[in-house]
A = this chain, B = another copy of it.
Amino acid sequence: MALPDFERIKLARLQRRIKPHLDAIGAALDRLTDSDIELAREVGRHVRRGQGKMFRPTLLLLSATSEGQVPEGAVEAAAAVELVHTATLVHDDFIDDAETRRGQPAVNVKYGSATALIMGDLLYTRALQHLARLELVRPYHLMTDAAVHMCEAEMLQVQTRFSLDVDEDTYLRIIYQKTASLIECACRIGASFLPDGDRYDTVFQSFGRQTGLVFQITDDIFDYLGDPRRLGKPTGRDWEEGRITLPLIAAWRTAPPQDRQVLAELAATRDPEARSVSWPQVQAFVERHGGVEYAYERARGYGDEAKDALANLPAGPQRELLTTAVEYVINRLN
């Protein structure tokens, strides 16, 4: 059961304004996930049934037009961005051993790990092929950069798993590369379709980056507090799987030695069972030392920076709509 969700309603209202384009992206995604190979087609349909909020394509479309006219290339590029996002989810679910994704079984659970690996590869390469075929040169430059960033972040995350030595800088690098880089990429690809896109590239870069950081910090806070939107969603997955995120990093930094000592002992095991048992203690530790408040404050700060970046755009509907979009992200926290 969901609480009334005003922010989601706001996003939905915003998306209604660009609905024909979002529908066109959906149709492109249907085509790009289709195949004459039965298994690929079946898994493709499974993945499409779990379509998300289309947040990245929405940002791309809003970035692509200041006049309401969306260029066709932007629609196709937005489909490619969403496809890359989907590929990372398929591979992530395998890496994290996730059971479900968007209310249905994860690909690795339903079809096995080999098929999940291949499906992720197929979605990735199809997306990049799509941009190449349409000769969308700037988008595929930006996209390959973002793709490398995302892979590096996964590697860094594996390397630093379970380590309380992860500091805020490392955390920021991980979430920038893992999450914010694709959102930044979506915004910059969008802006590349503007007649004076070059001029505004750094604006959209900054806007996308900060928005992405808010997005991921918020998700990481939800793992401590619970997502107010999804009552009963379990917390503590990050702790259990050894991902050390901002609330814990901040709490750890300010905690006195004896408190640290206790946490370090809890953190010493990699056994999910044992970590699950210690979760209430970890949650209390983070609360006691203001970890969530600190993360919240940082997220707010990045949100302000995202809005500041928009101040460099000409006043008009584009700026307003992008402001609504970033407010949706910021207000997920309230």
A residues sitting closer than 8 Å to B (CB atoms) are: 35, 37-40, 91, 94-95, 113-115, 117-122, 124-126, 128-129, 132-133, 137, 140-141, 144-145, 147-148, 150-152, 154-156, 158-159
Q: Which residues of B contact A144 (CB under 8 A)?
A: 125, 128-129, 132-133
Tell me the nearest residue of chain B to A114, going by C-beta: B95
The 8 Å CB contact of A118, one of B37, B38, B113, B154, is: B154
A91: chain B residues within 8 A (beta carbon):
117-118, 121
In contact, B145 and A39 (Cβ under 8 angstroms): no
User: How many Å from the CB of A213 to the closest CB on chain B?
Assistant: 20
Q: Are B140 and A37 in contact (CB under 8 A)?
A: no
Name, among A40, A94, A117, the residue most crowded by chain B CB atoms within 10 Å (CB to CB): A117
A159 to chain B minimum Cβ distance, whole angstroms, is 4
- Expressed in whole angstroms, the Cα–Cα distance for A86 and B124 within the complex equals 17
13 contacts between A and B (CB under 8 A): A35-B155, A37-B159, A39-B158, A40-B159, A115-B155, A115-B158, A118-B158, A122-B152, A125-B148, A129-B147, A132-B141, A137-B137, A140-B140
- Complex-state Cα separation, A39 to B141, whole angstroms: 26
In angstroms, Cα B121 to Cα A118, docked, is 11
Which residue in chain B gives the minimum CB-CB distance to A127?
Answer: B144
Chain B residues whose CB sits within 8 angstroms of the CB of A114 once the complex forms: 94-95, 158
Q: CB distance B121 to A154 under 8 Å?
A: yes
Q: How far is the CB of A31 from chain B (nearest CB, A)?
A: 14
Query: What's the least CB distance linking A23 to chain B, in Å?
Result: 25
Q: Do A37 and B126 have beta carbons less than 8 Å apart?
A: no
The reply to whether A113 and B113 form a contact with Cβ atoms under 8 Å apart is yes
Q: Which residue of B lies closest to A96 (CB)?
A: B114
| A122 touching B148 in the complex, CB below 8 Å, given contacts A38-B159, A95-B114, A155-B40 | yes
